[in-house]
Amino acid sequence: MFKKALAGIGAGALLLGMAACGGGDGGSEGGGDDGSLVIGFAQVGAESAWRTANSTSIQEAAKAAGHDLKFVDGQQDQEKQIAAVRDFINQQVDVIVLAPVVETGWTDVLQEAEDAGIPVVLADRGVEAADEALYVTRLGSDFAEEGRKAGTWAAETFAADADGTRILELQGTTGSAPANDRKAGFFEVLDAEGLNYEIVDSQSGNFTAEEGKAVMETFITTHGLDGIDLLYAHNDEMGLGAIQAIEEAGKVPGTDIQIIIVDGSTAGFQAGVDGKLNYIVECNPAFGPQLMDVLESVVAGDEVEKFTPVEEGVFDATQFEAELPNRQF
Ligand code: GZL
């Protein structure tokens, strides 16, 4: 395949300033004569409605574009994702798409892809800065900005809370970019706004409803709910699981405790319409078509931005009912 020739010559002598062969700066002008691509996609898993919608968006977009998408469900297991990437390398795909479950532990396999002359594009989540030279671009959300949006609403909502705002936090998967950055952005704004707050507890619910409910039950057992002002859940599933736990404890979610969720699923908006939560920060999974455009540019050797953010909004209780019919997942 064309890529082997490029790999043989070595990236440094090729396409300088355009896109070197390999993961560092861009594509290798691979692909079929008809422009079709063989794409290897190592997805995080199927842990949430967001993830399912993201997989569907990418699979449908690849089909519509006439590309051959080799899809692997990583089952939220980094070792499975690494094995999938190595298999894609052995298959000599034209481009590898990785949605890294956590930020660290990718250097070796990304280097292997670069050595094989196969460009890597990150979809959704990111990797640690040290590995930034080993992938061409990331298409996904600005997770820190999502956290800042949540923090802005919380700072405004609780500004007059003289005795201090007591907060519970349900974090996403430990070590993942969305968990790290949604946390950082949220508290960055609370601190910048001078909100008087206390983090009563903060644990990971691994982005799943089951684990989110279990952690909320532990929060309730440990701290009780009286005097807890706000739950910040890093995704819908964990927030919805927590709502079940709050109701089973005899309290009224959305009233006795204010709740922020991130994603914006249909179920999340329905809970908002039902008055069970108070603010939704959208995280948009439907970037399949945009990803195909990025992959085609990368393989063609075009220069691409290192990060392409997807568009997403925020919604309060006055907007839930009107927005609910628009939700796609
Ligand atoms: C965010 C994505 C997160 C979602 C969760 O882009 O990585 O993972 O917010 C999903 O629902 O599990």
Supply angle C-alpha 167, 251, 199, rounded to 5: 10
First to last CA, the chain: 38
Specify the pLDDT at position 29: 62
pLDDT digits (tens, 9 = 90+) for 163-200: 999 999 999 999 999 999 999 999 999 999 999 999 99
In ligand 1, which atom is closest to the CA atom of 237? 11
* CA 19 vs CA 1, 22, 305: distances in Å: 18, 8, 11
Distance of alpha carbon 149 from alpha carbon 186, whole angstroms: 7
For ligand 1, atom 3: residue with the closest CA: 178
Q: Which of 301, 281, 311 is nearest to 139 (CA)?
A: 311
pLDDT digits (tens, 9 = 90+) for 9-57: 333 333 332 343 444 444 446 777 778 999 999 999 999 999 999 999 9
Specify the pLDDT at position 11: 39
- Ligand 1 centroid–CA 243 distance in Å is 19
Distance of alpha carbon 168 from alpha carbon 121, whole angstroms: 35
- Ligand 1 centroid–CA 77 distance in Å is 15
* Helix ranges restricted to H, the chain: 2-9, 49-65, 78-90, 107-115, 143-157, 177-192, 209-223, 236-248, 266-273, 288-300, 320-323
Specify the pLDDT at position 12: 39
| Contact indicator for 226, 252 with CB cutoff of 8 Å | no
C-alpha dihedral (203, 204, 207, 210), degrees to nearest 10: -80
Specify the pLDDT at position 1: 36
- Ligand 1 centroid–CA 231 distance in Å is 18
Q: Which of 233, 265, 234 is nearest to 53 (CA)?
A: 265
pLDDT digits (tens, 9 = 90+) for 79-135: 999 999 999 999 999 999 999 999 999 999 999 999 999 999 999 999 999 999 999
User: Beta 137-140 vs 120-123: how paired, if at all?
Assistant: parallel
> For 319, phi and psi rounded to 5 degrees?
-110, -10
Distance of alpha carbon 49 from alpha carbon 58, whole angstroms: 14
Question: 79 CB contacts (<8 Å, ≥6 apart)?
Answer: none
Q: Which residue of 43, 47, 51 sits with most ligand 1 atoms within 8 Å of its CB, as the best mutation to test the pocket?
A: 51
pLDDT digits (tens, 9 = 90+) for 123-171: 999 999 999 999 999 999 999 999 999 999 999 999 988 899 999 999 9
- Ligand 1 centroid–CA 50 distance in Å is 6
Distance of alpha carbon 153 from alpha carbon 316, whole angstroms: 9
Specify the pLDDT at position 31: 79
Distance of alpha carbon 46 from alpha carbon 68, whole angstroms: 21
DSSP state of 48: S
- Ligand 1 centroid–CA 142 distance in Å is 12
Average pLDDT, the chain: 91
Lowest mean pLDDT among 7-21, 238-252, 308-322: 7-21
* Residue labelled with tokens 């050595």: 115
Ligand 1: residues within 6 Å at CB? 47-48, 50-51, 124-125, 140-141, 178, 207, 235, 262-263, 283
Domains and CATH numbers, the chain: 2-139+285-309 (3.40.50.2300), 143-283 (3.40.50.2300)
Lowest mean pLDDT among 115-129, 237-251, 297-311: 297-311
| Contact indicator for 172, 182 with CB cutoff of 8 Å | yes
| Contact indicator for 272, 309 with CB cutoff of 8 Å | no
pLDDT digits (tens, 9 = 90+) for 260-286: 999 999 999 999 999 999 999 999 999
Specify the pLDDT at position 125: 97
Specify the pLDDT at position 33: 77
Task: Please report which confidence band the pLDDT of residue 64 belongs to, taking 50, 70 and 90 as the band edges.
Answer: very high
**Helix%, strand%, coil% for the chain, nearest 5:** 45, 20, 40
